Structure formats: structure tokens, C-alpha cells
Amino acid sequence: MTATIEQTGPATSVGEVPTFEVTLRVRRFLPEGPRGDESYWDDHVLTMHGTDRVLDALHKIKWEQDGSLTFRRSCAHGICGSDAMRINGRNRLACKTLLKDLDIRKPITVEPIKGLPVIKDLVVDMEPFFASYREIMPFLVTSGNQPSAERIQSPEQRAVYDDTTKCILCAACTSSCPVFWTDGQYFGPAAIVNAHRFIFDSRDEAATQRLEILNDKEGVWRCRTTFNCTEACPRGIEITKAIAEVKRAMITRAF
Amino acid sequence: MSTPVITAPRSPYARRKTTRGNFELYGWVFMRISGVVLVALIFTHLFVNLLAGEGINAIDFAFVAGKWASLPWRIVDLIMLWLAMMHGTNGVRTIINDYAEKDRTRGILKVLLYSAFVIVVVTGTLVIFTFDPCPAGADPALLADFCKQL
Ligand code: SF4
Ligand code: FES
């Protein structure tokens, strides 16, 4: 059969994607700037397309209006976990939030995620978050000789922890947790999610150790099942459920 | 020349120390179990005191004295007192941990909380154990019927 060019009506151009005006209200913090340690709101009126995301709006500000605006992003496709921020009061990835899905009649507020020290504008210090992550030993622990082939695992065994393998360490969950906001001592949902990923992995042998680490005053027992984390997770991980499973594992071990 | 030591600006955000142990685990389990038991106890209490028989109009000194004259009721009330106080105190302790940001505030609030716990539990237990349904020299009109036989 001869290949034919499909006729899909007149060729569409970018101009035909509906455009609209949107105000982006960004929380700024420039310690070396004229306003010093005071943070403030900056409004930017932009003309955007229906296909644009909040990240595109931030790019437009940075590239065309105010080069001093600082934020993190890398992949721009929801996989690296760099650009978690508070958009209209909710933790989301800027690269996964379409402007048209937000209420564009009002200014869209963009703030850094809460509970972590802000370094500049939308960039926070992630170190406390990663410190908790490292504490739960996020790597496979085995003993004995290395097998000559792969470590066998059945699809059922894999399914047990499938959900928690999806984490991209964006910190949207931990920084949406009111218990974490209080004093930052709580391990946080992300650390528990990543511990869950190994605790329930049939090939791993350090489940007891990880349960011990999380059986801490600041560990899983500080979870109040607020479900903020589950709502915030851009990967749709059922975080509160994972935390409950870790709790249950601890209880069955203790009794 | 030695390099000046600059403390990391993030040090206050690091976890201060590990506090591992089964205390919070047992606390969590206790809250679930005592919660279920308390629901049963409290509804029995409300039903017996406010609905059964003459209902709320029957409550006076004689009514309470009549109840506490029997050992099973005293045991029920003792359990209810202890469970309710422990459940409530642990709940408020949790709230203090969640909302107080400074260790000092936390400390003060917890001292107040535990003092209140001790006062209520000690006086309550004392009353249940040493209660005299027929105090000598009281107005007989206020006492339970069985006091007259004494
Ligand atoms: S669990 Fe979800 S919200 Fe939390 S760090 Fe991982 S991907 Fe982000
Ligand atoms: S830029 Fe990578 S997740 Fe958004």
C-alpha cells in the first residue's frame, strides 16, 4: 500500500492554540538583594498558551522579564523531581501542572515548598530531606555469595512494593506534612516510602534494621494519617497506605 | 593560618538524635485498644446514668452511692477513669508534640499536663476506694435507702 499523507484539515499552527492572560504571583527571596532577608510577592502578567505548564510560565518570566528569578528544574517532564513547589497553596511539580487546569481568573501563587530552609526564591535546601532518606538505608542489603545470575523474584513478590518504587524524591510529600513543618524532626513520608520499597522487597535482608530505624519517636508513629502526602505526590503513590503497612509490620514484629 | 570553621546554616534542621524504642509503638496500640474499650464503657455509663429507669432525674448523691455500694460498678468506674485519663493525656501529649515548636514550651505544657493527670487520677482513685455511701451524721433524706437499715 502506498503511504499517503493523512488529510487532517488545514495545518494547525501554534497560533491556533488558545492563548490567555495569566498573572503569576511568585514568592521571592533574595538575601543578597535590596530587600535583604525579607521575602515578598512579585506579580508577572504573561500571555500563555493552553498547552503551557506553570514551568513554562516561570521560564517566560526568567527568560523574558526577570532573569533573577531562581528555581530548580531539570527534566521538565515530571521524572527528575527537581521542581516541586507550592502552586496555589498545594504542592505540585511545576512541570506537571497545566495552567489551564488552574483558576486563571485569579493570580496563580507560586511559593517554595514549606518546612525546608529557603535558599533563594523557589530553591530550598533539600539536605534535611535527603539526610532522612539516607538514614533508612535506601540500598539493597544482602548476605552470602553473590548469585551467578539475577536474584529471582516472582511477579507477586514484586507487586507488594511496586507502588513505592515510583518515588522521584521531589519532597512534595514531606514538605506538605504538618508534622514535619513543626520542627523538621520527623523522618517524613518520603523516607518511609523509600524504606517501604526495601522492607517489602523479598530480596532484601535488612528489613528488621530499617524497621528499627523507623521505630523512633520521630519515625512512623508521628504520622497522623492526614493524607496530605498522598494528595501531594505527583507520582500518585499511596503514601499513607505505605506508612500504615510499615506500622503494621512493626506491630506484628513486636507482638 | 587555620581555616575558619563556619557552622553549616542548616544544622538546626538536622535530626538531633535518634530516639528509637518501642514506647511510641505501645502508645499507638494503646490508643486504638483503649479507644474501642472506652466507646463501650462510656455508652454504658451514659445509658445507665441518663436513660435507664427514671433517667437523668434520678441522679443525686443517693444514686451514686447506690451504684458504688456494689463492687462491679466501682471496678467499671475505676477502669473508665484510668483509661479515659491515660487515653486523653496521651492524646494531648501528641498534640503538644505536634504543635509546640520550642522544647521549652513543650516542657512547660507537658509538666502541666502530667500534673493534671496525676491530680485527677489520684483523687479519683482515692474516692472510688474510700467512698462511704452512708456517711455518719448526714441528712438521712439525702442518703440511699439501704443506709436506714444500718
Ligand atoms: S513519595 Fe511522591 S511526593 Fe514524596 S518524594 Fe516520592 S514522588 Fe515526591
Ligand atoms: S523538572 Fe523534572 S520533575 Fe519537573
In order of start, what are the domains of chain B with their CATH numbers? 23-148 (1.20.1300.10)
Grouping H, G, I as helix, E, B as strand and the rest as coil, residue A86 is: strand
Per residue in A20-45, pLDDT (tens digit) is: 999 999 999 998 888 888 999 999 99
| Contact A137/B at CB under 8 A | no
pLDDT on residue A14: 53
**B16/A222 Cβ within 8 A:** no
The ligand minimizing its distance to the Cα of A169 is 1
Distances (CA, A) of A8 to A2, A14, A17, B8: 18, 16, 16, 60
Which positions of chain B have pLDDT values less than 70? 1, 5-14, 149-150
Q: For position A18, what pLDDT does the model report?
A: 86
Phi and psi at residue A42, to the nearest 5°: -125, 125
CA distance A177 to A15: 42
Pairing of strands A90-93, A123-124: unpaired
CA of A94 from ligand 2 middle (Å) equals 7
Does residue A234 contact residue A172 with C-beta atoms inside 8 Å?
yes
Q: Is B22 on the interface with A (CB under 8 A)?
A: yes
Say if the Cβ atoms of B10 and A212 lie within 8 Å.
no
**Backbone φ and ψ of A44, nearest 5°:** -135, 125
Residue range A127-148, pLDDT digits in tens: 999 999 999 999 999 998 889 9
Asked if A219's CB is within 8 angstroms of B101's CB, the reply is no
Which residues line ligand 2 at a C-beta cut-off of 6 Å?
Answer: A 73-76, 78-83, 93, 95
DSSP H/E element including A110: strand A108-111
Average pLDDT estimate for A245-255: 93
The confidence score (pLDDT) of residue A37 equals 86
From residue B8, how far is each of A128, B14, B82, B102, B116 by CA, in Å? 12, 10, 47, 21, 41
Q: Mind listing the pLDDT tens digit for each residue in B36-64?
A: 999 999 999 999 888 887 778 878 888 88
Q: Do A218 and B99 touch (CB under 8 A)?
A: no
**What is the rounded average pLDDT for all residues in chain B?**
86
Does the beta-carbon distance from A179 to B18 stay under 8 Å?
Answer: no
Which of B22, B25, B32 to probe by mutation at the A interface, max A CB count within 10 Å?
Answer: B25
Place of cell 521549652: B104
Q: Ligand 2 centre from A128 Cα, in Å?
A: 20
8 A C-beta contact, residue A118 and residue A112: yes
> pLDDT tens digits, residue range A182-228?
888 899 999 999 999 999 999 999 999 999 999 998 999 999 999 99
If one counts every other C-beta atom within 10 angstroms of the C-beta of residue A32, the result is: 6
Q: Looking at the partner chain, which of A131, A217, A250 has a beta carbon nearest the beta carbon of B14?
A: A131
- Contact at 8 Å (CB) between B20 and A212? yes
ipTM above 0.90, yes or no: no
pLDDT at A167: 97
**Cβ neighbours of A221 in B, within 8 Å:** 24-25, 27-28
Q: How many CB atoms lie within 10 A of CB B129?
A: 9
**Per-residue cell: A170:** 521531589
What's residue A17's pLDDT? 82
Could you give the C-alpha distances from B29 to A46, A53, A227, in angstroms and in order? 54, 45, 20
Cell output for A191: 523516607
pLDDT at position B149 = 66
Length of chain A: 255
Identify which of A77, A126, A233 to mutate to test ligand 2's pocket (most ligand atoms within 8 A of the CB).
A77
Domains and CATH numbers, chain A: 19-124 (3.10.20.30), 127-141+156-252 (1.10.1060.10)
Do the Cβ atoms of A30 and A125 come closer than 8 Å? no
Mean pLDDT of chain A: 92
Query: A7 vs A119, which has greater pLDDT?
Result: A119
H or E element that contains A46: strand A40-49
